[in-house]
C-alpha cells in the first residue's frame, strides 16, 4: 500500500505538472494572440481607409460633372436642364459629406454653406429653381471652380484620409441629420431635402462598412450590429416621397442615437471620441 500510495502521488504530481504546463502554454498563446488580433484590426482599418478613398473621389468627380452640366445648361438658357444638373451634382456631394467639412473645411464652406449661403449650392438654389438663370451664372462658375479644386486635392496621390477624421466626419454628420436636417432639411427650393439625408446616410454607411465594420466586429460584435441596424433605421425613415412624409421626431432620435453609437465605438477602435454639436 505505501508503494501504491507513492506511485499514485507521483502520478498526480505528473498530471498536475502537465496541467500547469498546458495552462502556461495557453496563457502564452493568448499573450501572443492578443497583439496579433489588435494588429489585424489595425490592418483592417488601414486597408479600409485606402478602400474608402476611391468612393470619395468618385462622388466628388460626379458632383463636379453635374456642376459642369449645370454650367452648360445655364449658358444655354435651359432652366429645366440646369435644375436637373444641380440635383445630380448635389446627390453625389451629399454622399461625400462625411469628409467634406472634416478634411476640407474652407472648400466645404465655399461649396455648401447653409443656411446663410453667399456662394455654393445654396446661393444658386433659390434663383435657379425660380427659373432666374440670369442670377446664377457667376455663382455656378464659382461652384465649378471650387469643385474642380476639391477634386484635385482629394485625388492627389499625396492625400490620405485618417481613421480619426473619418470617424469624426461620420459621427458629426449623423448628429447633424438628427439635430438639424430632420427639422426641415436644407434644400427647400429644390425639394430634395429628403434626398440629401438619404445620401448623407449612404455616405456614413460607406465610411463605416469600408473602414470600421470588420475591426469593430472583431472587438465588439454586438455594438457593430447595433450600428449597422441604426444605419438601416435612419435609411428607413427617409424612404418617403418628401420630407413632409417623414417622422421627424423618429429621424431626430435615430440620427442622434447613431452618433452616440459611433462615439461609443471610438475607444474600441483605439480612436478618440468624436465631438458633436460644436
| pLDDT value of position 84 | 98
Asked whether residue 9 is domain-assigned, the answer is no
Within the chain, what is the greatest distance between any pair of CA atoms? 112
Total structural domains in the chain?
1
Percent of the chain whose predicted confidence (pLDDT) is above 90: 79
Please give the radius of gyration of the chain, using alpha carbons only, rounded to the nearest integer. 26
Look at the pTM and tell me if it is higher than 0.95: no
> Is 182 a member of any domain?
yes
Q: Is residue 164 part of a domain?
A: yes
The set of residues, in sequence order, having a beta carbon less than 8 Å from that of 199 and lying 6+ positions away, is 91, 92, 94, 95, 97
Pairwise CA distance, residues 154 & 163, whole Å: 16
Position 178 in a domain: yes
pLDDT tens digits, 233-270: 999 999 988 888 899 999 999 999 999 999 999 999 99
Cα(155)–Cα(138) distance, rounded to whole angstroms? 26
Determine the structural domain holding residue 249 and report its residue range.
42-268
C-alpha cell of residue 273:
471620441
Asked whether residue 140 is domain-assigned, the answer is: yes
What is the DSSP secondary structure assignment for residue 273, as one 8-state letter?
Answer: P
The CATH number of the domain holding residue 90 is 1.20.1420.20
CA 198 to chain centre: 12
Which candidate, 117, 107, 124, 113, places its Cα nearest to that of 70? 124
CA-based end-to-end distance of the chain:
81
The answer to whether residue 56 scores a pLDDT higher than 90 is: yes
Give a yes or no: residue 5 inside a domain: no
In this prediction, residue 22 has a pLDDT band, given cuts at 50, 70 and 90, of: very low
Q: Is residue 118 part of a domain?
A: yes
Q: Do the domain assignments include residue 231?
A: yes
Entry field: residues in the chain: 278
Amino acid at each position: 500500500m505505501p508503494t501504491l500510495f507513492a506511485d499514485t502521488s507521483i502520478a498526480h504530481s505528473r498530471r498536475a505538472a502537465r496541467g500547469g504546463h498546458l495552462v502556461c502554454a495557453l496563457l502564452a498563446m493568448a499573450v501572443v494572440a492578443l497583439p496579433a488580433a489588435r494588429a489585424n484590426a489595425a490592418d483592417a482599418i488601414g486597408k479600409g481607409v485606402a478602400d474608402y478613398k476611391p468612393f470619395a473621389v468618385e462622388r466628388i468627380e460626379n458632383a463636379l460633372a453635374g456642376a459642369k452640366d449645370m454650367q452648360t445648361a445655364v449658358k444655354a438658357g435651359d432652366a429645366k436642364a440646369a435644375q436637373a444638373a444641380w440635383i445630380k451634382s448635389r446627390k453625389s456631394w451629399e454622399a461625400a459629406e462625411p469628409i467634406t467639412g472634416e478634411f476640407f473645411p474652407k472648400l466645404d464652406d465655399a461649396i455648401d454653406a447653409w443656411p446663410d449661403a453667399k456662394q455654393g449650392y445654396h446661393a444658386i438654389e433659390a434663383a435657379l429653381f425660380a427659373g432666374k438663370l440670369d442670377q446664377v451664372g457667376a455663382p455656378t462658375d464659382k461652384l465649378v471652380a471650387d469643385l474642380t479644386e476639391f477634386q484635385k486635392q482629394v485625388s492627389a496621390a499625396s492625400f490620405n484620409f485618417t481613421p480619426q477624421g473619418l470617424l469624426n466626419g461620420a459621427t458629426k454628420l449623423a448628429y447633424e441629420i438628427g439635430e438639424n436636417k430632420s427639422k426641415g432639411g436644407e434644400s427647400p427650393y429644390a425639394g430634395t431635402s429628403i434626398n440629401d439625408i438619404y445620401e448623407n446616410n449612404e455616405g456614413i454607411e460607406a465610411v463605416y462598412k469600408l473602414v470600421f465594420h470588420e475591426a469593430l466586429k472583431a472587438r465588439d460584435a454586438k455594438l457593430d450590429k447595433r450600428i449597422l441596424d441604426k444605419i438601416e433605421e435612419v435609411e428607413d425613415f427617409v424612404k418617403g416621397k418628401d420630407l413632409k412624409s417623414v417622422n421627424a421626431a423618429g429621424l431626430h432620435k435615430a440620427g442622434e442615437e447613431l452618433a452616440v453609437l459611433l462615439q461609443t465605438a471610438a475607444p474600441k477602435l483605439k480612436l478618440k471620441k468624436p465631438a458633436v454639436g460644436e
